Amino acid sequence: MNILLTGATGNLGTQITNQAINERVHNFSIGIRNINKVPHAWRSSLEINKMDYFNKDSMVKAFKNKDLIIFIPSIIHPSFKRLPEVENLIEAAEEAHVSHVMFIGYYADQNNNPFHMSPYFGYAERRLAISDLNYTYVRMAMYMDPLVDYLPELQQMGKLIYPVGNGKINYISRKDIAKGIISIIQSPKNLGKRYLLSGYSYTMTELAEILSHVANSEIKYEPISLEAFGNMYDEPKGFGPLLASMYKAGEMGLLNQDSNDFEILTGKKPETFESYLINNYKDA
């Protein structure tokens, strides 16, 4: 099976590519917009295809003679600006006679979810459903990874300020998401399904306790308002309200989603938040 991963030099794509190389996944290639971002260590191990989500012809060319496309969406917002990439993905895959598409989505996609990116994920899955393509849809829980870089700021403030109230959020590391995806592509029987790659759910009080333990200093949970949070992190412009809308979904209980899909696929438990932070956080 000839496989092509898009967005390979992004944070998640890098994890998937490194694991594919380490696991010696056969006929694994990547499609990226900027060839200069490809690490030198990959160049002798991978076929590299230049493509752009907003240039369908470049996607058709990259998809030629490929059986499976693993598509990682861009992070462009607002949602409507990303819709052309879905259309280009599907049309290019159909024109190139691709057998199967795996779409990497997000779990904040319910019909009542206020997350500003929710409409995009809802559209993508339904658009795949009406296409002529065979597809696998993978939903991810919230990334743990950004908390490693955010922890020094939280340590300085002495508080965790996410506007989630009593809601729980399920977290998983990019490394574990990549493990799940590699497990899917290593067995054809895993294709054609809908997955949720999730870890463990935490209240923000529980998360603050974990952060306190790892940082070796007290971090209390003291949420601020959605508006204040949006204003505080509004860089680039519009990102703050986007981020706040995600935590509003958490407050509503919409990000408290658990699944055993990861364990079924890999035969292992996902890493806990505390273990991940201990293994990755270096106290400056």
pLDDT for 79: 86
Handedness of CA 73, 79, 83, 85 (dihedral sign): negative
The arithmetic mean of pLDDT across residues 231-249, rounded, is 94
pLDDT for 121: 97
**114-158 per-position pLDDT tens digit:** 999 999 999 999 999 999 999 999 999 999 999 999 999 999 999
Compute the chain's Rg from CA coordinates: 19
The arithmetic mean of pLDDT across residues 16-32, rounded, is 97
**259-284 per-position pLDDT tens digit:** 999 999 999 999 999 999 999 997 53
Q: What is the pTM of this model?
A: 0.96
**50-62 per-position pLDDT tens digit:** 999 999 999 999 9
Query: With pLDDT > 90 as the criterion, what percentage of the chain qualifies?
Result: 95
pLDDT for 34: 95
Contact 270/200 with Cβ under 8 angstroms? yes
The arithmetic mean of pLDDT across residues 178-194, rounded, is 98
Sequence-distant (≥ 6) Cβ neighbours of residue 142 within 8 angstroms: 107, 169, 170, 171, 172, 255
> Please, what is the average pLDDT of the chain?
96
Q: Which CATH class is domain 3-140?
A: alpha beta
Residue 149 falls in which region: left (phi positive, over 0), alpha (psi -120 to 50) or beta:
alpha
* In the chain, domain spans: 3-140
pLDDT for 84: 97
Sequence-distant (≥ 6) Cβ neighbours of residue 227 within 8 angstroms: 244
What are 140's two structure tokens?
Answer: 């991810």
